[in-house]
Amino acid sequence: MISFGVIGSSIRGGNISLLSALTIPEGDRPQRLQELKEACGFSELVAVFTCNRVEFYYIADGDEPATGRRNKLLDFFLRDNPQVSFEPSDIYCHSAFRALKHLYRVAGSLDSMMVGEAQVLGQVKKAFSDAREMGLCANQMESVFTEAFRVAKKIRRETPLGEHTVSMVSLVVGEVECHLYGRDHSIIALVGVGPMTEKLAAHFKARDDVELIIVNRSTDRGAALAEKFNAKAMSITDFVNHAPAVDVVFSATAAPHTILGQQEVQALLANRDSDLPLLLIDLAIPHDIDATVAEMRNVVYRDIPRFRQTADKNRRERFKAVDQAERIVDIEVGRAHRQNAERQFRPVFASALNEAMAYAHAGLDRLFDSKLQDLDDSERKNLTHFVEKLVRYTNNLPVSALAEQADTSHGSCAMIAGYGCVQTRAETNIDTEDPSANRCARHEGRSCVLDGKHTFML
């Protein structure tokens, strides 16, 4: 029996020390992940590392429960790090179709801190690509992740989940691009050298119609960042006293007081010969730009509350699309149930198909020799083709019916839902809101779809 599962922890649990302990530095990953794979008995492994989550997707042989694999993974990371404390709820482990649904939701950005965040899919794709380059995964994992990517794209294509921006970087970029739309050349001043400045500089660096100026109190740090993004560097003093003809000023420093007041903004306006208003964006706390500049003519002022208002509105629109996206995930997991069941059942019915086909040919031969002697070769060929098609169709009906049963009954079967069979697992007290964790089709008076040698594990 082959099992697919995931073990992970996210920032939702609030245990930052555990999240840090499970994170492997990028340079150490090839060796450490290979060691982890061997220690836990995984045949294939894909590790996802982001600032919000650490997850280990695995395929393993044997029937060891997911909790056993989770314990091995924790021993691997924490045996030399006993000071890390955690509760059972800080780490999750899912298997089978429950793990598959989790992967679909992660790739589709339904499990993100910011629902609909576009960059999550890219992070999952990179994790899979890295695992393949390290030789950690092969065909089975590729099949699983390829489907996850397809589902994520389907969510983007068929729902408005990604249409409403909620991240601060995307909102700022959208504001600037909208402001500069149609201009042949623009100058953007980025005040400060923090993470937000770098993200904006990286975005606008690729545009030939934009000139960047990095403004900072420390000329050395400003110059280093300017060199990285092919920009001009200025000190705050030079920027204020020798105001260039900028079209946009973005500021996000840690200064304890305002950097630009009405007098400095007036100097910026005086140096411009454009009829385009000057866009001032202030994301600093406390403000870098005096909020009263919003009252000045030919100035457009934006600050954190304004962007938060837009983000909240967009977030409400996104949540309207979540139900659609969750429905797509459920349909695709059901589709995986049916496909997996068909793969399990079809070999059983192959011999029955051969026998039925042989019986049909024997019957046709008797008819051709007795009651249908007048048929020519073309008519006999057409009749034979119809009978063969009918035999294949009727033989496939029980396969489809059993596959459909596997799909519709998974919510009432702990084993298929990925918790382990209620009748065989040692621990039945699972802390989860999922009602299928302790449900059993046989206990409810129905036939068990797991009877015999068929197991619905990916």
Q: Which residues are catalytic?
A: 51
Residue 233 and residue 260: Cα distance in Å, rounded? 18
- 412: exposed, middle or buried (C-beta count within 10 Å: 0-12, 13-18, 19+)? middle
420 φ/ψ sector (left φ>0, alpha ψ -120 to 50, else beta): left
Cis peptide before 286 (omega within 30 of 0): yes
Q: Please check whether residue 422 is in contact with residue 439, taking contact to mean a CB–CB distance below 8 angstroms.
A: yes
Sign of CA dihedral 140, 142, 147, 148: positive
Residue 21 and residue 90: Cα distance in Å, rounded? 13
First to last CA, the chain: 9
